[in-house]
C-alpha cells in the first residue's frame, strides 16, 4: 500500500510539471493603444427614440447624404456606429481630422441641413463617445 501511494504521488508530480520553458518578453516593441471610449470625436450624431423607435427614414436619408458628400469631395468619411438602446437608438461618431477646414465646415452644414429641426436626432461636437 505504501508503494502504491508513493508511485501515485510521483506520477502526479511528474504530470503536473510544466514542459514549456519560460520565454523572455521583449518589451521594446510594445505599442501604445488608446481606449476607443476615450477618443474625442469631432461630430456625434445621435439617433434617439421616444417610445416608437428611431426615425429610420431620416437615418437612410442621412446615409445617402454622407455617401454623396464622399463622392463629391473624394473623401472617405466613415462613422463609428455604436448601438445603445432597446428601441434601435444609435450614435454615429465622426472623426473629421483628415478633412480640410472647408470640407469639415461643409460636412457639418450638410449634416445640419439633412437632420433639419427634428427632435429625434441630437448633434454633439468635440465630445467623447458615450
- Residue 35 forms beta bridges with which residues? none
SS3 106: helix
pLDDT over 90 (residue 33) = no
Say what the pLDDT of residue 8 is: 72
Q: What is the pTM of this model?
A: 0.68
Per-residue pLDDT reduced to its tens digit, 70-128: 999 999 999 999 998 888 899 999 999 999 999 999 999 999 999 999 989 999 999 99
- DSSP letter assigned to residue 39: P
pLDDT over 50 (residue 31) = no
- Residue 127 forms beta bridges with which residues? 41
Check if the beta carbon of residue 84 is closer than 8 Å to that of residue 91: yes
Amino acid at each position: 500500500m505504501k508503494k502504491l501511494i508513493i508511485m501515485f504521488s510521483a506520477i502526479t508530480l511528474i504530470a503536473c510539471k510544466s514542459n514549456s520553458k519560460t520565454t523572455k518578453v521583449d518589451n521594446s516593441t510594445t505599442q501604445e493603444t488608446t481606449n476607443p471610449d476615450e477618443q474625442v470625436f469631432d461630430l456625434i450624431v445621435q439617433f434617439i427614440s421616444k417610445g416608437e423607435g428611431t426615425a429610420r427614414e431620416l437615418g437612410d436619408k442621412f446615409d445617402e447624404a454622407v455617401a454623396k458628400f464622399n463622392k463629391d469631395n473624394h473623401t472617405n468619411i466613415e462613422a463609428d456606429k455604436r448601438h445603445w438602446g432597446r428601441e434601435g437608438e444609435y450614435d454615429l461618431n465622426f472623426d473629421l481630422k483628415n478633412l480640410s477646414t472647408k470640407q469639415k465646415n461643409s460636412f457639418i452644414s450638410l449634416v445640419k441641413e439633412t437632420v433639419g429641426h427634428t427632435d429625434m436626432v441630437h448633434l454633439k461636437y468635440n465630445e467623447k463617445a458615450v
